[in-house]
Amino acid sequence: MSLPSQVRLIDVGPRDGLQNEKQPVPAAVKIELVHRLQAAGLKEIEVTSYVSPKWVPQMADNHEVMAGMNRQTGVRYSVLTPNLKGYEAAVADRPDEIVVFGAASEAFTQKNINCSIAESIERFAPVVQAALAAGIAVRGAMSCTVGCPYEGEIAPERVGYLAGLMKGIGVQRVDVADTIGVGTPKKVQAAIEATLAHFGIDHISGHFHDTYGQALSNTYAALQMGVWNFQSSVAGLGGCPYAKGATGNVATEDVVYLLQGLGIDTGIDLDQLVDAGAYISEQLGRPSGSRVARALMAKRSS
């Protein structure tokens, strides 16, 4: 079984990582984090979301963050847009890619975006159409592809069903997300397999939260299937406000270390990435959630 020779990482730290922080994180800190991530070699960064500031207050500074960044050529900046209102607000800030976000679970869809799966697709369709017409790339996030905090285990058929709906409205690539980090390799592979009925391997990414400590194993399981796009969060920041108890995404540092060990190229400088993680952890006043970063920092200081 051959693994991909290259992997593309999307750091979702500024968005998924920070959206759940209780204390407001200043826009200047988010901007500095984006700058440090791109300096470390990240070629894709999920910067912010255009959602209701009443639902997710931490992302209310979306315009400020997008306007304040120094964009680097060759870096793709993506943002979440749940509906046309969000899209219209986002488009003024010139994202390279917008993300519509649905879930394989009805209950999570209701809690997260206040509508049914069918209604979510109706809302996404005009967003996707408008983005494609404007030359903006479109990604679809699929939450709860193995488990849901409200419905429990999710069957792969439901993932396939959602992937088919996303494909039907013109979404170009999708994220198979384990929102609450309950997945184990075979279950994650089944969710990816179901997605493969609608999207090619180049258009599927893995988005694994690390709540149960399975995210690296799940990453490896996805690599074995040929998946070469992954989302991760520097310092393992994050969680979803509508998935209580779920911790952050797998730490980007941990994924880069794994990939380096496998001889897989990411174009990322691990030392600079560790510095970026140290910066945001210091701003948040807590240790990094990345075990690799903690180990490397301990080594540096010894």
Q: Is 52 in the site for ligand HMG (CB under 6 A)?
A: yes
The site partner of 113 among Mg ion, ligand HMG, none (C-beta below 5 to 8 Å per kind) is: ligand HMG
d(CA 253, CA 244): 24
Nearest approach, Cβ of 214 to ligand HMG (angstroms)?
A: 14
Q: Is 144 a catalytic residue?
A: no
CB distance 158 to 104 below 8 Å: yes
Give the dihedral of Cα atoms 218, 220, 222, 226; nearest 10 deg: 180
Q: Is 16 in the site for ligand HMG (CB under 6 A)?
A: yes
Q: Of 173, 258, 274, 267, nearest to 210 (Cα)?
A: 258
Q: Is 240 in the site for ligand HMG (CB under 6 A)?
A: yes
Q: Is 178 in the site for Mg ion (CB under 5 A)?
A: no
Q: Which residues pair with 175 in a beta bridge?
A: 141, 205
Strands 152-153 and 147-148: antiparallel
171-210 mask for ligand HMG (x: CB under 6 A)? ------x-x---------------------------x-x-
Q: In terms of CB distance, is 103 or 268 closer to ligand HMG?
A: 103
Q: Is 120 in the site for ligand HMG (CB under 6 A)?
A: no
For residues 16-45, which are near Mg ion according to CB under 5 A? 16
Q: Is 233 in the site for ligand HMG (CB under 6 A)?
A: no
Q: Is 288 in the site for ligand HMG (CB under 6 A)?
A: no
CA distances 53 to 44, 202, 241, Å, are 25, 34, 13
CB distance 174 to 140 below 8 Å: yes
Q: Which residues bind Mg ion (CB under 5 A)?
A: 16
